[in-house]
Structures are given as structure tokens and as C-alpha cells.
Structure 1
Amino acid sequence: MKRVLWFYLDDNRRALAETGQGIFGAVVTAVKAAGWQVFYRGQHADIEGDGFHLVYNRAVEGPFCFSLRRCYLQKYYRIEATNDRWDWDVAGLTFPGKPGPAWFQRYWAERLFRGETIGQGGYIFMPLQGKLLQRRHFQAASPVEMIKATLDADPQRRIIATLHPRETYTEAELAALRGIERFELVTGSMAWLAGCDYVVTENSSLALQGFFLNKPAVLFARIDFHHVAASVGQLGVAGAFVAVHRPQAYADYLFWFFKKQALCEVGDDSLARVADRLRTLGWPL
């Protein structure tokens, strides 16, 4: 395999790569230090050419193509052999449960929820995503089925739900939400997340953000941050709604998930960790 990197980026990210900035610059610096050549193509250009290919947040094509994608928080990323987060390497790991410093959870809780009122308002927060009437292959139920299962499993609390701002919903999907008892659609997310008792979602990243406030979560779909959530796919509906109330070491988990498993584009060891990740994926550096 030729020691060539084809990097698929938009103009702004290409500028960062060419000037050695951030995660994009770290990748380029790492491969050039090993004597590689680097060529650029547009973010959505066809995958072709001998060598290794790195795309940004799009499906990979072939065994020598990998995906670089943001890992939920600013400055954190992953490089993976798939763009599907539920199949990322971390999803298959066992959270060791080792104590981690609490500052990471506190720092990001302040950044994410500054100005919000933190509490338990007696409701379930449910960030909905797309395709409300369809059960996709990584889901245990369709979103509409998830709503009904949640109301059955928790007959006391009401559901406060949001629609995804970047999704387009059909009239049939919206009609399916009308008239459901103990169910209300609202706008905004962070204030409702801050005030909920717990989160129920397919695999919205808002469940992960809730961990910074020690908010439990029930997940109806596969995802990479399932370790301290109650997974319907693993436990069934009844089991998940029992497990969601069990205490979890959220601060320890968040430190492990981000600081130990993801790539941070800042820090003295940033470049070394990027290079180590590429070697783990089989890149001959």
C-alpha cells in the first residue's frame, strides 16, 4: 500500500490541515513525519486513488478508507473504520469503572448548562430524531413505538419531547404525535434537559450531555455511549426502565469516554495520540 493520504475536506478544514492546526493538522503532521505524501479532495468527492483515504463525517468506502468525526464535544474527535457511531471501537469496550477526576464533568456541565436551572421537574425528556414511523436496523423500536413503550413503562411522568432541528418531518409523522396523552412537543433542548428526571431517546447525543448533570438515560438504539445508560436492546423495555434508576458513576465514565478514548486536538500529547490511533488502524507510520 502506497504511503499516500487522500484527505477529503471542505475549504475551511483543508486550510486548518495545511497550516497544521487542530485535529486536521495533527493528522497531516503525523503522516508527513513518517514520509507520506498528502493530497486533498473536496469533502464529498469520489473516493479513488492508491493509498489511504480519510473522509470527514461521511460513509467510508473500502478497507483503506477511514472516517474522522467529531466526538460530541468541541475539540474531541474519533478516527474510525466506519462512520456509524454505534460500531465505533469504544462501543465494544467495557467501561472499567475506574475512578476519574471530577473536574471534567464539572467543567463541561458549566459550559453546556450555564444559566439553566438544574433540577428534577417530574417529567421525562425525549429528544426525537428522524423517521418517526420507521424502525431502523440499529433501533429496538421506531420513535413512535418508543413513545408508547415509555408511557406504558412509566405511567406517572409526562414526556416533554423535541423534534430534531435538522430533520424534515412528513405530515403522517406529525399526525402520529398528535393527541398522545402525557406527551408534549416543545422547542429548545438544554433547559428541558436540565430540568428532567431522566432522558429517553433512540440515541440522541443529548442523552450523553445529560450525563454531565447525572441525568439517567434509557436508549432504544445502539450507540457508542451506551455503557452507563439503560439499553432496551440489551435489557428489554421493562428491564431498561428498572435499570435507569440505578446509580451510575457518570463523572468517571465521562472522563474515560472523552479523555481516555477520544482524540483531543489540544494538549501536549495530542499529536502522539493521533499517530498511535492511526497505527492501531493499520497505517504504516
Structure 2
Amino acid sequence: MLNQVTDAVQAAGWQVNIASLEDTEGRPKAAGYHLVLNLPVWGPRCLSLRKTYRDPFWKIEHTNDRWDYEIASMSFDPAAIKAGFNGFMGYWRPRFLGDAPPAQGLGPFIFAPLQGRLTDRRHFQALSPIDMLRATLKADPDRRLIATLHPREVYSASERLALDQLADDEPRFTLATGDSLPLVKACDYIVTQNSSVAVTGYFAGKQAVLFGQIDFHHIAGSVPRDGLEAAFARMRQPPPDFARYLYWLLELNAIRTWDAAAQDKIRARLAHFGWPI
């Protein structure tokens, strides 16, 4: 995608300088326009380039906070998606889900892929992750709750202790290890703050309850948007049209790296945010 961006702006007569992270930090007044890779932006001459959960889909946005992406405030109308979604789902579903079989012998359960800062409630979250787990067990008293830790997070002793305490208090709670995909495929639905695992779950036909703000909330039960009771009530309703939604989210509202129109879309996106290109 970086090559596509470079070619897109050079074709419009722009010069490109690729700087390391150390060179770009502290340069908000540097000449020209700036595109940062998955970093906070510093003003109208700086935009964020960030992968949209899975390669080859990418976003160019005025912020690096996904809950403030333009699509987050858009309305999704499945009736407006007339074609293309079945082929999209047929192509990408096996590539994103892989060959791992569903987990066996677990009975009815909710899957909770955890992220970081388990005992903190951040500004985009309705509850802290630990409180999210407790609220889930209360909202759905009949199912087990199986959680996994994020493989790239480092958890403190106090966070581990909070998980141990939850397991002691709630016999329906289990902390699992290993690959999350078998759990995604086997669960009844997913509960998370805003983990991209929920998007993977959409490909597997799994509904989600989200406790954090994010840009893929439209077909989920969202506690920040709807409240706790209404968010879980959606899990008892017929499932949404996952194929149409994923096509809308990724193909129609992101930029696919090898799309023949990718460079046109890149230039259009930069111009959308006021860049003179």
C-alpha cells in the first residue's frame, strides 16, 4: 500500500520523502503534507494510513482513532448493497478463517478476545475489560464465557490477579490459551471491547457485543451506543447480513491494495481531506 500511495501522489506531480519514525516525531511544522502509518496525526496537513483489520484493506483518515473514522458515524443500509457481496464473501471468507476446525466439546459459550489494560476503563469504553467480563456473565446467565489474552500485550501482576479472582468468583469463566480461530468458529457469539477478532467473527457468521466504540459497530450490539440490555438483546434476534456488511465495510469503504482503481481512490481520499491533489 505504501508503494501505491507513493505512485499515486508522484503521478500527480508530488515529491515523496519517506522518513523513519525518529525523523517524523516532533515535526508538526515541517513543510509539505504528511501521512503517518498507524500513528496519531498532528493537524490538517497530516493524515493516518492504517490497515483496516486485514491486509490488503487500508484506510486513509483524519485521525488514527478508529471510533472517530468517518464510517463510524455513517448508516449501513443492507438494501443499498445490490451486488458483489456474495463473491466478496466467497473469496475472502476461507482466506480469513483458514482451515483450523472449530473447538470441540465446549457446549454453548461466549468468546471474549481480550485486549490490553484489563482493569482500566478508557474514554472510548463503556466498562473496563474486567467489568465487561462480569457484566457479560450477568447479562447471559446460561452460557460459559471463554476469554483469551492478546498475544502482543504484556499483562501486569494485578491484571493476572483480577482474572484469577474472576475465575474464582465465576465458575462459568475460563481463560484459554492458543489460537483464537477455533473459538471464533465454535462460539455462540463474541463479546469484546473493539477487537478486530469481532470482524473475523463476522466472516464466520458470529454476532458481537461491543463494549468499546469502534468503526465496525453497525451490525453489532454496542453497549456505548445502545446500552447493556439492548446490546445483548440483539444476540437473540436474527443475525444481520454479514456478507453485505463486510462488503460495505472493506470493499466499498476502504482501499484494497491491488484494486485497479487504488491510486485514484488514494488521490480522492487525500483531496477529500483538503489536500491540493
TM-score after normalising by structure 1: 0.88
Instruction: Map residues 123-202 of structure 1 onto 2, 5 A cutoff.
Output: 123-178=109-164, 179=168, 180-187=170-177, 188-202=179-193
Instruction: Map residues 32-43 of structure 1 onto 2, 5 A cutoff.
Output: 32-43=10-21
**Cα distance between partner residues in 2 of 1:33 and 1:276:** 13
Q: Is 1:50 paired with 2:42?
A: no
Q: For residue 59 of structure 1, report the CA deviation from its aligned partner.
A: 1.0
Identity of aligned residues (%): 44
Greater shift, 104-113 or 153-162, is seen at 104-113
> SS state of the match for residue 169, structure 1?
coil
The answer as to whether partners of 1:222 and 1:233 remain within 8 angstroms in 2 is: yes
Total equivalences in the alignment: 263
Alignment partner, residue 8 of structure 1:
none
Q: Is 1:30 paired with 2:5?
A: no
Q: Partner letter of residue 107 of structure 1?
A: Y
Alignment partner, residue 273 of structure 1:
265
Unaligned runs of 5+ in 1: 1-22
Q: Partner letter of residue 167 of structure 1?
A: E
Q: For residue 50 of structure 1, report the CA deviation from its aligned partner.
A: 1.3
Q: For residue 274 of structure 1, report the CA deviation from its aligned partner.
A: 1.1
Q: For residue 73 of structure 1, report the CA deviation from its aligned partner.
A: 1.5
**Cα distance between partner residues in 1 of 2:36 and 2:107:** 42
> SS state of the match for residue 267, structure 1?
coil
Instruction: Map residues 50-129 of structure 1 onto 2, 5 A cutoff.
Output: 50-97=31-78, 98-99=80-81, 100=83, 101-118=85-102, 121-129=107-115
The answer as to whether partners of 1:216 and 1:245 remain within 8 angstroms in 2 is: no
Q: For residue 88 of structure 1, report the CA deviation from its aligned partner.
A: 0.9
**Cα distance between partner residues in 2 of 1:154 and 1:136:** 24
> SS state of the match for residue 51, structure 1?
coil
**Cα distance between partner residues in 2 of 1:79 and 1:262:** 8
Unaligned runs of 5+ in 2: none
> SS state of the match for residue 48, structure 2?
strand
Q: For residue 44 of structure 1, report the CA deviation from its aligned partner.
A: 4.2
User: Structure 2 residue aligned with 1:237, among 223, 228, 243?
Assistant: 228
**Cα distance between partner residues in 1 of 2:122 and 2:260:** 41
Q: Is 1:259 paired with 2:251?
A: yes
The answer as to whether partners of 2:89 and 2:247 remain within 8 angstroms in 1 is: yes
Q: For residue 63 of structure 1, report the CA deviation from its aligned partner.
A: 2.0
**Cα distance between partner residues in 1 of 2:90 and 2:129:** 32
Alignment partner, residue 10 of structure 1:
none
User: Structure 1 residue aligned with 2:194, among 203, 210, 213?
Assistant: 203
Deviations 1:187-244 (Å, cap 9, x if unpaired)?
A: 1200111100000000000001100111000000000100100000111111111012
Q: Which runs of 4+ in 1 moved over 6 A?
A: none
Q: For residue 258 of structure 1, report the CA deviation from its aligned partner.
A: 0.6
Q: How large is the Cα RMSD of the aligned pairs?
A: 1.5
Q: Partner letter of residue 262 of structure 2?
A: S
